[in-house]
Structure 1
Amino acid sequence: MSDPRTNATMKHGKEQHALTNGRLLARNVVWNLLSQSAPMAAAVLTIPVLIAGIGTDRFGVFTLAWMVLGYFSLFDLGLGRALTKMVAEKLGRGLEQELPNLVGTALSLMMILGLLGTVSIVLISPSLVSHILKIPPEIQRESLYAFYMMAASLPFVISTAGLRGVMEAHQRFGKINVVRTVIGLYSLIGPVLVLPFSRSLVPVVAVVFVGRLVSWAIHMVLCLRTLPNLARGFAIRTELIGPLITFGGWMTLTNIINPLMVQMDRFAVGALISTAAVAYYTTPYELVTKFWFFSNAILGVMFPAFATSFVNDRERTALFFGRTVKYVFLILFPLTLGAVTLAPEVLTLWLGGDFARQSTYVMQCLALGVFLNGLAQVPSALIQGVGRPDLTFKLHMLELFPYLITAWFLIRGYGITGAALAWTARTALDLVLFFWGGRQILPECKETIRRLSWGLAGTLPLIGLGALPLGLAWRVAYLTVIMAAAPILIWQRILGTEEKNVLLNRFVNAWSRRFQHRAVAGLAVRTAAEATQSPLG
């Protein structure tokens, strides 16, 4: 007779492997990429129209309102990330029956905390609009209403992240990415459609607010379909609060610090220079940080995979980590080199000569920072996924005060270019600290870090050469040479034997299928010709 415990263990092992299957993870990464590609393309078209329609001051306020909303999302106390990690961990251990109570408790807490965040934003908005930010008096009233609407959406924004996290822990990326795509397009196109009727911030923000409500409702329906028993679990279970708050508390501290380092530069620009300068700084920032949609697409899938695999198979976790670093590097490097080399032309074509003169150096510097930060996000996801958010917070604290002091002096001395320099210097320190932390958590990743060090030693000078103020023809020629040589170097020095075999097999299979299709088509043609020539034809 078979042992029931042995059968259960085998079943659990198969379920865990299914959640970290390479093909499933790759397919989900593709889903993430597709869901962000359409909004990214739409942003290129709609942002210039929106700036022209509402003006740089209103657009600056619009981006600042978004940053306030993002910063106050820390009122979830880290429960969104904690929920994703704990759901993935329970799936890895075969404890699916515990999920409804866990998810219901987390979502209930997130809604309550979101309401507290709404009240906080409403209370500070008058001071922000009237005194702290240099907003022109003629648009202060509509700016205040814009902040109020952003505040009202906070509970839904916070709980939507929790709902999405539950689906991601189950590796159900297909449907949630369809929703993300539709809502993302709506949030970009909707404000532009308002412009023929009004150039005020109020209807522009109202359109975005409605989109957030619709997104929340759809995610709730999808989550209930994934966990049918969840409707009975929408109550706060006191015994589950402790584990959620313990993990989430460290995440909250990280969420307090991280926006200070990622977004405070724009507030400093607005306070020390002007809201118009915020637009000149934020616009290239928004362009180059879109590169993160590649790394975020990968890490959104790998975060729950790290949590699920680390429970029982650390060698598998190390394999995932190494490949994730490699793929993020291979994706971000050519994008960064292209952005640095062609920054003046890109800004001129997109936003005009004035923006190009003001923002070229900013874009080049920020592009390098995005490259470094995208790599640092991999060990950050690992550290959090295996349950050490306290280490993330401690590493950020080492960066915070040196960065704030550096940013203050550089912004005062060099304006928005100084802000970009300070931000990029911080990302370099971020990279070093987080890979050190990743090695402490997972010593098996030592070889990955060594390879990355050599890779950066070779590629950072190439990026620097791309920023030289040469003629367009020289820069295009340089970019062409590097891009032509890159595939050879990748094949010889970066890809492993297994990865080469996979690519070769797919290439051979693709050509084999193409040859078979041609052979079948040729046989059909010959058969038809013979039938036509036959007396019976």
Structure 2
Amino acid sequence: MTILDRPRARFASLGRLVGGTGTDLFAGVGYSAIAQAAPLVVNVALTPYLIRHLGLDRFGVWSLILVLLFTLTSLDGGVSASLARFYAFHQAHGDRAGTGRLVVGSLALFAALGLLLSGLCVLLAPSAFLLHISPQLRGETVEVLRFLGPLVTLALVTNSATSLLQANARFRGLAGVTLCSCAVYAAGVVLVIGHGGSLTALAAVTALRFVVLLVGGFVLGARHVVIRRPLLPPSRERRDFGGYALRMQVSGLTVFLNGEIDAFVIAALLPIRYVGIYAAGLQAASAVRSLPLYAFPPILTRMTTGFAQHGLPGAVREFHLLQPRWLGAVLAYGAVSTAAVIFAVPVWLGPGLRLSGVVAATLLVGYTVHVALTGMRTCLVRAIGRPGLETRYSWLATVVNSALTVPLALMFGVVGVVAATAIGLVAGSLYFVVLCGRVAELHRQRIPLRWILAIALAVLVAVAGELLVAGTGWHGMAPLTLAGLPVVAGLVVAAIVAVPRRDSR
């Protein structure tokens, strides 16, 4: 049973759980955003360095290793995704011993999973020859694949530590530990790769990052934990946790099938360098997409409060207040970013990665429609306790994506793979609109002509600015920062044109 299933009086604890006052809440959201954004920023900064020193083929192998790492850690039965909720439940009741049992239980489970995965990785690593990898890279690929099991184990155990901090509203501590781990990782990458280190050495640096997160997370969270016998959670909690985790895993499978599986399809059908091309484009698109998502925590809290106080009408009222602003802002931001990213990626990585810019733009088309249509509806269904609707539309997106991936890949290569993902996201988003309309009477938001004109003008401004930046011939992180200015200018133009003046109302 989730928090939303409990009596409405329990919602009074929500504000205390996430930080009490509104100021504390938004400070927590800010620190949480730092913790989420720091690894993304570091990866963006390091990608040109890695491509330059590794070469595109070795970078493709490393990108595939990272996809495998994310896949194996996300397919853990939904345990990692469920820990924060159950840690928070114990924190709300002041049950530090219950938290301790959950810590011990999660670590034991992750250790067992890690041992199993380590054995499988050792056995299956030689099958790397099935991929489109040059003979010169096969030995190194097999070696780093054997390292994957321990790396996955560390990542899983680290999830327990970071979930503990999140559940106890230790967002500032989480941000600090994350920044430290990212600094260690960045320094290690520069040191190892700069001296001609292997991919296995790069995996060791990644493991060091997880160790910093793990140790720092549990040190900061230690005051919320008491270890007492019995060491494991009682059978009732294990059953509740298992049922909740299973539902989270079902939803998580759609994330894997709609995104990470693309890398495996590319590796199976195309030379390994195209995995690197895809990974660079995906990284750029994900970075752009993540910015609007940082607004979710306060919006979800606002809708949840409206539901707690006034039932479904209260949540729907908040939706109608927020959706028009959200739709216009996300569509403008997405359109401008999609047009700009085609030029910005080659500025970031060099002219040899122009195809990564096309990959990023194709993905951003789907991401923009997805976030615009589902953002506020996602907050609504979570606030009213109907998260199963998310699973339904996600699976439709997965089915469409899976049906189109191979045919489009054979016709258009790596761009066809991501086009299938974008089409699936659009189809799923439209279905989610229909599903939410059955739950509550939601007004359909039409896009005013003024918005369309504002967005079109903003795109023209952004493209003109990006052409000027691209014409300099500069490449790297500094020019990438410069390439962000036309995006800002386009959004300012969109805001000026789209927002009516006071005297014209």
Q: TM-score range by the shorter chain?
A: 0.7 to 0.9
Question: In the superposition, relative to structure 1, how do residues 186 and 330 fare at CA in structure 2: closer, same or farther (>3 Å)?
Answer: farther
For residues 89 and 173 of structure 2, what CA distance do their matches in structure 1 show?
22
Render the CA deviation track for 1:57-102: whole Å, top value 9, x for unaligned.
11111111111111112343112222323444566xx533384266
TM-score, normalised to structure 2's length? Answer: 0.79
Does residue 1:483 correspond to 2:482, yes or no?
Answer: no
| Offset at residue 103 of structure 1 (A) | 2.9
Alignment-derived partner of residue 43 in structure 1: 43
For residues 457 and 234 of structure 1, what CA distance do their matches in structure 2 show?
62
Work out which of the residue numbers 352, 359, 362 in structure 1 matches 2:359: 362
SS in 1 for 2:160: helix
Question: In the superposition, relative to structure 1, how do residues 272 and 457 fare at CA in structure 2: closer, same or farther (>3 Å)?
Answer: farther
Alignment-derived partner of residue 222 in structure 1: 220
Does residue 1:400 correspond to 2:409, yes or no?
Answer: no
Question: In the superposition, relative to structure 1, how do residues 171 and 194 fare at CA in structure 2: closer, same or farther (>3 Å)?
Answer: same
Work out which of the residue numbers 284, 305, 310 in structure 2 matches 1:287: 284
For residues 373 and 428 of structure 1, what CA distance do their matches in structure 2 show?
6
% identical equivalent positions: 19
Aligned partners of 1:78 and 1:251 also within 8 Å: yes
Alignment-derived partner of residue 62 in structure 1: 62
Alignment-derived partner of residue 483 in structure 2: none
Render the CA deviation track for 1:32-81: whole Å, top value 9, x for unaligned.
33335554444343211111101111111111111111111234311222
- After TM superposition, the structure 1 = structure 2 runs for residues 361-440 of structure 1, keeping only pairs within 5 Å, are 361-375=358-372, 376=374, 379-380=377-378, 383=381, 390-438=388-436
Question: Where does the alignment leave 5 or more consecutive residues of structure 2 unmatched?
Answer: 1-6, 470-485
Does residue 1:277 correspond to 2:263, yes or no?
Answer: no
Question: In the superposition, relative to structure 1, how do residues 74 and 351 fare at CA in structure 2: closer, same or farther (>3 Å)?
Answer: closer
Render the CA deviation track for 1:331-368: whole Å, top value 9, x for unaligned.
65454333323334313322222212x23332222222
Work out which of the residue numbers 244, 255, 273 in structure 2 matches 1:247: 244
For residues 166 and 333 of structure 1, what CA distance do their matches in structure 2 show?
35
Question: In the superposition, relative to structure 1, how do residues 242 and 430 fare at CA in structure 2: closer, same or farther (>3 Å)?
Answer: same
Does residue 1:297 correspond to 2:294, yes or no?
Answer: yes
Does residue 1:85 correspond to 2:85, yes or no?
Answer: yes
Amino acid at match of 2:418: A
Work out which of the residue numbers 160, 166, 169 in structure 2 matches 1:168: 166
Render the CA deviation track for 1:353-389: whole Å, top value 9, x for unaligned.
2212x23332222222232344436644665676655
For residues 468 and 278 of structure 1, what CA distance do their matches in structure 2 show?
32
Aligned partners of 2:457 and 2:494 also within 8 Å: no
| Offset at residue 108 of structure 1 (A) | 3.8
- After TM superposition, the structure 1 = structure 2 runs for residues 301-316 of structure 1, keeping only pairs within 5 Å, are 314=311
Aligned partners of 2:83 and 2:160 also within 8 Å: yes
TM-score, normalised to structure 1's length? Answer: 0.75
| Offset at residue 283 of structure 1 (A) | 0.8
Aligned partners of 2:61 and 2:141 also within 8 Å: yes
Aligned partners of 1:75 and 1:117 also within 8 Å: no
Q: Pick which of 137-146 and 393-402 moved more.
A: 393-402
For residues 304 and 227 of structure 2, what CA distance do their matches in structure 1 show?
22
For residues 116 and 309 of structure 1, what CA distance do their matches in structure 2 show?
46
Does residue 1:350 correspond to 2:359, yes or no?
Answer: no
For the pair shown, the structure with the greater C-alpha radius of gyration is 1
SS in 2 for 1:404: helix
For residues 379 and 468 of structure 2, what CA distance do their matches in structure 1 show?
36
| Offset at residue 17 of structure 1 (A) | 3.2
Q: RMSD of the alignment, in Å?
A: 4.0
Alignment-derived partner of residue 30 in structure 1: 30
Alignment-derived partner of residue 265 in structure 1: 262
Amino acid at match of 1:103: L
The total of aligned residue pairs comes to 474
For residues 271 and 186 of structure 2, what CA distance do their matches in structure 1 show?
25
Question: Where does the alignment leave 5 or more consecutive residues of structure 1 unmatched?
Answer: 1-8, 494-537
Question: In the superposition, relative to structure 1, how do residues 314 and 178 fare at CA in structure 2: closer, same or farther (>3 Å)?
Answer: farther
Does residue 1:18 correspond to 2:27, yes or no?
Answer: no
Does residue 1:149 correspond to 2:147, yes or no?
Answer: yes
Render the CA deviation track for 1:473-496: whole Å, top value 9, x for unaligned.
899999846632415645879xxx
For residues 486 and 177 of structure 1, what CA distance do their matches in structure 2 show?
32
For residues 32 and 292 of structure 1, what CA distance do their matches in structure 2 show?
17
- After TM superposition, the structure 1 = structure 2 runs for residues 487-502 of structure 1, keeping only pairs within 5 Å, are 487=496, 489-490=498-499
Amino acid at match of 1:246: G
Amino acid at match of 1:178: G
